[in-house]
Structure formats: structure tokens, C-alpha cells
Amino acid sequence: MTEDLRTEEMIINMGPHHPSTHGVCRLVLTLDGEVVKKCVPVIGYLHRAIEKMCENRTYAQCIPLMDRFEYVTAMSTNWVFALAAEKLSDIEVPERAEHLRVIMGELNRIASHLLCIGVTGLDLGALTPFLYTFREREMILDLFEMTCGQRLTYNYMRVGGVSQDIPPEFIPKCREFLSIIDGKIDDYERILTENPIWIARNKGVGIIPEQMVYDYAISGPAARASGVNFDIRKDDTYSIYDRFEFDIPVFYGCDNYDRYRTRLGEMRQAARIIRQALDQLPEGPVRAKVPMNFKPHPGEVYARIENSRGEMGIHLISDGDKKPYRLRARGGSYNHLMAVPQIAPGLKIADLVAVFASLDIIMPEIDR
């Protein structure tokens, strides 16, 4: 006769101040030993009502708020807001400004992916790659600092262009960065990609099948790692992306490992885009003539761009006033987080942390 040991499920609160929930996400986990049975994300700890605050501010005043909407890639948030306002009132953005936007946006994409890869390593216990990626991220932040004076919340884009031209030392510094970044990505590959432990921890973990990408509207590198070849830069092109030659890295593994490889590939492609943009950079004004008291035409518009963590969109309704009538922001992270409860059951706690990191979930984008 066997007597079964009585086991109990344990409910554990992961977050809101847990080292690996990347901000203030709270996951209520039901655990059976080490295995996750159920995962319920609790959001809202970082809610700042940015969308509502925008309704009481002029378009120029909205841009600093957009910085805070998703502070890891603040250039993109600036950009998508400016894009929405420009779409409303058919403003022609000067050539030089468009190039600068592409350069900044792609630099920011590299910085964001560097953060993601470094932090994924950190969450898996590899402490060293994190400092390597931050060393390169530092160079990008220096470039931003010399351009707009800020390292995190840039407030750089304006409706109709960018706030100021780049300083003369920007281009040599940027070329210096571009000349080393490919070698540095090779370094990360050497320390991580072929590492048997890294492969064991990431391959086949956190599977997001292709159907799930459609079901949850997952976008960005997470979707492209599941074999969905969708990139807004190519498929619904905006700005001047149609003039550049670049590839979209697509992988079919659907797991953490391929999400990581997609990001590495995207960084190389982003560097390629920046090189072309620097080569083509024309002279001229960096801002269209837009009045201080900018009032767009009344109407409704949805602008979207390809951010480093998926589709980022702004739904803007204007009644012709100097303030937006209604603004709604969309970030990729929300959809990614909603997919986590679907992926989580059956994973170990350690894998859940890895999945969370590889989906690159950023809380301000979710709570806004």
C-alpha cells in the first residue's frame, strides 16, 4: 500500500518589486513546487494617465509626456506622436529632418535591443554580457546627449521635424560607433549564442506558435521569431524607410532563443540603415514651418511605427483645437504581457523569468 504525500500549491507574489519583473509588474503565481500552474499579471502600478493629460496640453507640450510613455525608446514615442499630428494636417517634413529621425530611431532601436539582451542575460544569471551591452549603449546615449541634451527622455522630435540640428561632431562619433558595433555584436554572440547553457536555457522555452501571434496581436521581434514576417517599416512604410536597403530577420523557432537571435539580427540591420542614412544625409532645414500654436485639421488618425518591442501606435482625434481631443497610445508590451498567462503553465519559475525577459516587456508602455 502506498501512501501519497500531501502536497499543497503555493501562491507567490512575484513583484511589484521583484528583481526580474522589469519595473513594477506583479505576477501572482500559483506554484506546484517549482512548476508554474497559473500566472496572473497585475498591472497598473505605473499608471500616470498620460493619455488623459495630453488632452489638456498643446501638441508641443504633449511630446515630453510621450517620452515618459515608453522611456526605453523615447525617440520612437516622440516620432509616432509627431507622425500622427503631421498625418492629420498634411505637413511636409523636410528631408534632413526625416533622415535625422531615421538615424535617431534606429540608434534608439539598437540601444533598446542592447538593454534587452543584457537584461535577459542578467535574468539567466549571466552577469557579464549585461555590462558589455551597456558599454555600447553608453555610446548611443552620448550621441543623444550631444544632440538634444538628454540621455533618457529626449523630447527631440517636433511636429514638422526635429527640435534642432545635430552638432558637427555627431557624424564622426556616430560613424565610430557604427564601425565597432558589428564586432561587438559578434562578441555577444561568442559569449552567448554558442554557449551550451544559454542554449539549454533558451531553446524550446516559451513557445509562441504562429497562431498565437495572430490571436494576441503580438508584434515586433517576438512575432518575427515565430515566423511572422511583418515589419511596419516594410509592410506599411512610413517616413523614408522605403529608400533604404535592409532585411527583416525572421526565425521560425518561436522560442526565447530565436527572439534573442532576431534582436541580434535587427541590430545589425539597424546599423546598416543608419550607415545609409548618414551617407545620404542632405543639407537643409530640420523643421517645417509650423506655427507655435499648432492647430491640426479636425479629424481622426492612427499612426504607427515599428518600435523595438513591436507596433507602437497613436490614435489621435482632433476637433481643430490646439489640444488633442482624445489620444490613445498603443505599445507592443501589453499584448506580450497578456500572452504570458497562456505560455506560463508548465514552465519553471526560472523559465518564466526568461520568457518575461525575452518578450522585452516594459511596464510604462503598458500602464501609460
Q: Which residues contact another protein (rule: CB under 8 A)?
A: 10, 12, 18-20, 34, 121-128, 131-132, 135, 191-192, 195, 197-198, 200-201, 348-351, 353
DSSP 193: I
d(CA 66, CA 154): 10
Q: How far is the CB of 43 from another protein (least distance, A)?
A: 20
Nearer to another protein (CB atom), residue 177 or residue 230: 177
Q: How far is the CB of 38 from another protein (least distance, A)?
A: 15
Nearer to another protein (CB atom), residue 21 or residue 73: 21
d(CA 69, CA 331): 9
Q: Residue 196 has which C-alpha cell?
A: 551550451
d(CA 336, CA 317): 26
**Residue 134: what residue type?**
F
Q: Residue 357 has which C-alpha cell?
A: 525577459
Alpha carbon of 288 to those of 137, 140, 233: distances in Å? 31, 27, 23
Q: Residue 95 has which C-alpha cell?
A: 528631408
Q: How far is the CB of 343 from another protein (least distance, A)?
A: 16
Q: Which H or E run includes 331? A: none
Q: How far is the CB of 169 from another protein (least distance, A)?
A: 24
Alpha carbon of 86 to those of 78, 89, 161, 281, 367: distances in Å? 12, 5, 9, 22, 26
Q: How far is the CB of 179 from another protein (least distance, A)?
A: 19
Alpha carbon of 355 to those of 124, 137, 333: distances in Å? 10, 23, 13
Count of Cβ atoms closer than 10 Å to residue 200 Cβ = 11
Considering only CA atoms, give the Rg of the chain. Answer: 21
Please tell me whether the peptide bond between 16 and the residue prior to it is cis, using omega within 30 degrees of 0: yes
Q: How far is the CB of 116 from another protein (least distance, A)?
A: 15
Nearer to another protein (CB atom), residue 62 or residue 122: 122
Query: Are 311 and 232 contacting, i.e. CB atoms less than 8 angstroms apart?
Result: yes
Nearer to another protein (CB atom), residue 131 or residue 171: 131
Nearer to another protein (CB atom), residue 63 or residue 354: 354
Nearer to another protein (CB atom), residue 271 or residue 349: 349
Q: How far is the CB of 62 from another protein (least distance, A)?
A: 36
Nearer to another protein (CB atom), residue 168 or residue 196: 196
Nearer to another protein (CB atom), residue 291 or residue 346: 346
CA proximity to 322, closest of 55, 53, 52, 49: 55
d(CA 230, CA 148): 32
**Residue 122: what residue type?**
L
Q: How far is the CB of 206 from another protein (least distance, A)?
A: 12
Nearer to another protein (CB atom), residue 121 or residue 221: 121
CA proximity to 79, closest of 321, 270, 307, 326: 307
Nearer to another protein (CB atom), residue 20 or residue 147: 20
| Main-chain dihedrals φ then ψ at residue 165, nearest 5 degrees | -75, 160
Burial track 286-295 (b if 16+ CB lie within 10 A, e otherwise): bbeebeeebb
Q: How far is the CB of 346 from another protein (least distance, A)?
A: 12
Q: How far is the CB of 123 from another protein (least distance, A)?
A: 5
